[in-house]
Amino acid sequence: MDKAKLKELIARIEKLPTLPVVVSRINAMVQNPKTSAKEVGAAIASDPSLSAKVLRLVNSAYFGFPSQISSVTHATTILGFNAIQNLALSATVFQMFGEGGAEDLFDRRRFWEHSLGVGVISRILAEKSRYPDREEAFTAGLIHDVGKIVLDQFVHEDFMAVMNKVRAEDCLLYEAESALLGLTHANVGYILAQKWNLPKKLQDPLSYHHTVGLSKYNPQLTSIIHVADIFCRAFKIGHGGDNKIPSLDKSNVLELKLAPPDIEQLRDQTEKEIEKAEVFLEMM
């Protein structure tokens, strides 16, 4: 792709929709140490649709609370600000990008099944490697490939050319993107993360899950997403757009302190946890 067309492509991507006002407000509130659970609950409650989705997720088998949680304020008190922020972001991403036809070249439903699988595995790996926020790891895994959806939705014809190349040459999707578009879904993820003003600790996994060594702000979480993506492909959960499995950076496995028994148990644990997390797919 020549420079003029690449510039035009980036300009089109940069016209992406912004986050809903209430989600942007929550993101800002969570950064303020003086914010109370009541204030966060009130902000989410101001959007009845978002509030209902967050409560549905909180009361699902994914969290497994023994009794019903009836208010977002109560949920915020129990789970903490970051978890509620991540749930609001996840529900919003599904609302904005969840719908789409089951096209032969890029099946959006199977894409989200893959993304959910990466989220679930990331949550498990976060616990095993003692990453401090499991729900943050889940959210990062869930949205790590959102750049693919953006390309499909906003530059559809160009993305279909990429998918045709993937099918014809049986190559990795990001290799075809780089060859035809001059950028990859990870680059688009970075643009989106900047536009949405996501925390830098979430920006890195979107931007560098294929190039972990470039992560500056959150290399541990970026490593988790890199490893989770590869395991999810190996377990054949959903479909991320190509049929190849990228090379696993073994240094990331060592960094996460994963022993062979951990890896052997991962598939069984993933199957159980995915069943609990399928409520996220119902947000579409």
Quick: pLDDT tens for 159-201: 999 999 999 999 999 999 999 999 999 999 988 888 888 888 8
B/e letters for 132-144, b = 16+ CB within 10 Å, e = fewer, are ebebbbbbbbbbb
Q: For the chain, which residues make up each domain, given as ranges?
A: 3-17+101-283
In this prediction the pTM is 0.91
User: What is the C-alpha to C-alpha distance for residues 258 and 241, in angstroms, rounded to an integer?
Assistant: 27
Q: How confident is the model over 14-47, as pLDDT tens digits?
A: 777 788 888 989 988 888 888 998 899 899 989 9
Q: Which residue has the higher pLDDT, 227 or 4?
A: 227
Q: For the domain 3-17+101-283, what is the CATH superfamily, name and number?
A: Hypothetical protein af1432 (1.10.3210.10)
So what's the pLDDT on residue 171?
96
Average pLDDT of the chain?
Answer: 89
Q: What is the pLDDT of residue 118?
A: 97
Instruction: Return the closest-CA partner of residue 230 out of 267, 201, 278.
Output: 267
Mean pLDDT of 85-99: 86
